[in-house]
A = this chain, B = another copy of it.
Amino acid sequence: MLEPIAPINWEKDQVVIIDQTCLPEKEVYIYPQKVEEVWDAIKKLKVRGAPAIGIAAAFGLYLAVKDSRAGDKKGFLAELNKASDYLASSRPTAVNLFWALDRVKRAVEAADTDNVADLINLVHKEALAIRDEDEAMCRAIGKNGASLLRDVDSVLTHCNAGTLATSRFGTALSPIYELKKQGKLLKVFVDETRPLLQGARLTAWELHQAGIPLTLITDNMAAAVMARGWVQAVIVGADRITANGDVANKIGTYGVAILAKEHNIPFYVAAPASTFDLSLESGEQIPIEERNPEEVSHFGLRRTAPEGIDIFNPAFDVTPSRYVTAIITEKGVIRPPYKQNIAKMF
């Protein structure tokens, strides 16, 4: 049976990463032996997606210290901290990266031993645990989401919140993989997701290789697909969710949510508990990163827009919670009223 692949994993005693910069043209696997190669893989987006980056960083730490010659825990921790600082410099705004590095360090700090071989094992065990817990989280989202999509034939998704962004299975795509396991094959309409085409390059690739039927469209075709009655649900991931249920996600998500509402199609957001930022009351408080205008004015190396013009290139948009039918987490499905029900869950 075709299964969604793990984009970063520990297999046959080594780290294995699928190089996502080669997708969809070539399926290239790399086997980092040194921490520098993991740093490079994160830096160059060979591995991307917040959970996957965290897992890669944890395995990177293990590669950095696995041949440690430190004499005691103190010396070992010094090496670990150095490697951690180094890995943290690969993508300085990736929250999951810091979280994973801190978690491994804390585990070592808490260990009551000076035996360096044991500490090395602990780092490895912790990296594997981060991977396993992420996979369990994705599967739980898949099961919770599957119950919502059981009577649906086709869904539409935006960007990539799939197996390639996590340990495995993904968030938004996990219910689709789960339903396949249960014997129900959903069809997926995939927004290409300009400007970086994560939908065309990654989501289309991973669904196709897992044997899920899909139709690729440009972002501006979603409305025409909905008007034809071809999709009965939309499901997307999230980068951050505020206390009132507003959802920051890849640019274009908000537009899809409006289109779904206009066509009476449920709009689901699938995201782990760690995505909720209860320190923010509403989406207006979420800072929106603006990215390099060349992502819009160029395609590959070719300029496709005139020089000297203004370009707006926000990485994310905010979908107000009134457009969100339900939020699917590993702990269960949250429905409106969001403020109360999010508070209740956490």
A interface residue numbers (CB < 8 A to B): 23-25, 158, 189, 191-195, 197, 200-201, 204-205, 208-209, 213-225, 227, 251-252, 254-256, 258-259, 261-262, 296-297, 299-300, 302-314, 317-318
Question: What is the distance, in angstroms, from A247's C-beta to the closest C-beta of chain B?
Answer: 13
The 17 sampled A-B contact pairs (Cβ below 8 Å) are A23-B306, A192-B304, A193-B220, A194-B218, A194-B219, A200-B305, A208-B306, A209-B306, A214-B310, A216-B305, A216-B310, A220-B255, A221-B317, A224-B255, A225-B312, A227-B254, A258-B262
> Given A305-B24, A305-B216, A308-B208, do A224 and B192 touch, yes or no (CB 8 Å)?
no
This chain: how many copies in the complex?
Answer: 2
Which of A23, A259, A318 has the most CB atoms of chain B within a 10 A radius of its CB? A259
The reply to whether A220 and B251 contact each other, CB–CB distance below 8 Å, is yes
- With the chains together, A305 CA to B304 CA distance in Å? 19
Q: Which residues of B contact A313 (CB under 8 A)?
A: 217-218, 221
A contacts with B: majority SS: mixed
> Measured between alpha carbons, how far is A217 from B304 in the docked complex, in Å?
12
Q: Which of B193, B254, B259, B296 contacts A258 (CB 8 A)?
A: B259
Q: Is the CB of A296 within 8 A of B259?
A: no
Known contacts A24-B303, A25-B303, A216-B297: does B221 contact A251 (CB below 8 Å)? yes
A252-B220 in contact given A200-B305, A208-B308, A258-B262 (Cβ < 8 Å): yes
Chain B nearest CB: distance from A263 CB in Å? 9
Nearest 5 Cβ contacts at the A-B interface: A220-B252, A223-B255, A24-B306, A194-B218, A219-B220
- Within 8 Å by CB of A223, from B191, B204, B225, B317, lies B317
Write out the residue numbers on chain B whose beta carbons fall within 8 Å of the beta carbon of A308: 208
Chain B residues with CB below 8 A from A300, complex form? 299-300, 302
Query: Bound state CA distance, A219 and B223, in angstroms?
Result: 12
In the assembled complex, the Cα of A189 lies from the Cα of B222 at a distance in Å of: 20
Nearest to A201 among chain B residues (CB) is B304
Assembled-state Cα–Cα distance A230/B309 (Å): 17
Whether B223 and A258, one on each chain, are in contact in the complex, defined by CB atoms closer than 8 angstroms, is: yes
- From A215, A216, A252, A308, residue with most partner B Cβ within 10 Å: A216
Give 17 new A-B contacts, CB below 8 A, not counting A24-B306, A217-B311.
A23-B306, A24-B304, A192-B296, A192-B305, A193-B220, A194-B219, A208-B306, A214-B309, A218-B252, A218-B296, A218-B313, A220-B256, A221-B312, A223-B255, A227-B254, A255-B259, A299-B300
* C-alpha spacing A203/B170, complex, angstroms: 39
Is the beta-carbon distance between B192 and A192 smaller than 8 angstroms?
A: no
Chain B residues with CB under 8 A of A256:
220
